[in-house]
Chains A and B, each alone.
Chain A
Amino acid sequence: MSLFNIFDIASSALSAQTQRLNTTASNIANADSATGPDGTPYRAKQVVFQAVPQDAGNGPAKVRVAGVVEDGAPARKVFDPKHPLADGEGYVTLPNVSIVDEMVNMISASRSYQSSVEVMNTAKALLEKTLSLGS
C-alpha cells in the first residue's frame, strides 16, 4: 500500500532535516569558539543529503544523511593582540562559521521539515478516509 510508504519517506525527511538543524545549532553555538578539545578552532560542519531509492530505477526515494563533512571555508582571522590565543602578529584564528549561511540553512531546514509534516498529515487523513470506505 503506497500510502503507508509515505510515512516512511516523510519520516526519513524529518530525521534528515532534524540532523541538519542540529548541525546548524552546533555551528551557530560555536561561531566564536576559538579553541576546541584538540586546541584548534571549531570548524563548521555541514550535512550531505543522499536520496535512497526504494526499488531499482527512478521509483520513490527516501532521504538520508550520507555524512557530516567539515566546511572547507578558510578560518576567520581577527586582529586582537590582547586575546590569550593571539599569534605573534596579534591575530586570533576564529571558526569558519558563516552566521548568514547558517541562518539561511536553519530557515530552509525548518520549512522543509514543515512540508514533510504536512505530507504526513495528508497521508494520514487519506488513510483514515480509505479505512472508512463503505460506511
Chain B
Amino acid sequence: MIDRLDDYMRFQTEALKLRSQRQELLAANIANADTPGFKAVDFDFGKALTSVTSTSSGPAPAPEILYRQPAQASLDGNTVEMDAERAAFADNTVRYEAALKFLNTQLRTMLAALQG
C-alpha cells in the first residue's frame, strides 16, 4: 500500500532531484567562468528523466554529463558562455520551482484524501 504512495510521487521527486543536480552543474559552470581551459558541462534533462523513470528496479542511472559546444570559443580554452549559462540557470530555477509546486499539489491532494 505504502509503495503506491511512493509511486504516486516518484515522478516529481525524480524530476526535482535531476533539477537540483543540473542546478549544481550550472552553478559550477558560472563559478569557473574565468578558469582557463575549463569546459562547461550540462546534461539533457529530458533524456535523464526518461532513463530514470523507465528503470523499475535497482539504483537510478546517473545522468550522462556532456560538454557544451560553445558558440564562440575563447582564446584561453574556456567554453563557459556567461549569457547562456545564466539563462540556463534561471530557466532551471523556474522549472525546479514548478516541479516543487506539482509535488506540493500532489501532497495536498493526498492529504485531502486521507483526512476526508
Contact surface of A with B, Cβ cutoff 8 Å? 1-3, 5-6, 9-10, 12-13, 16-17, 20, 48-51, 57-63, 108-109, 112, 115-116, 119, 122-123, 126, 129-130, 133-134
Contacts and interface: CB of A to CB of B under 8 A. Distances in A.
How many chain B residues sit at the interface, stated as a range, is 20 to 34
Nearest to B85: A115
Interface of B: 16-17, 20-21, 23-25, 27-28, 30-39, 41, 65, 67, 82, 86, 89, 93, 96-97, 100, 103-104, 107-108, 111
A72 B72 CA distance: 28
Contacts, number: 96
Contacts of A50: 35
B65 A116 contact: no
Contact of A119 (B17, B30, B96, B97): B30
Contacts of A129: 97, 100
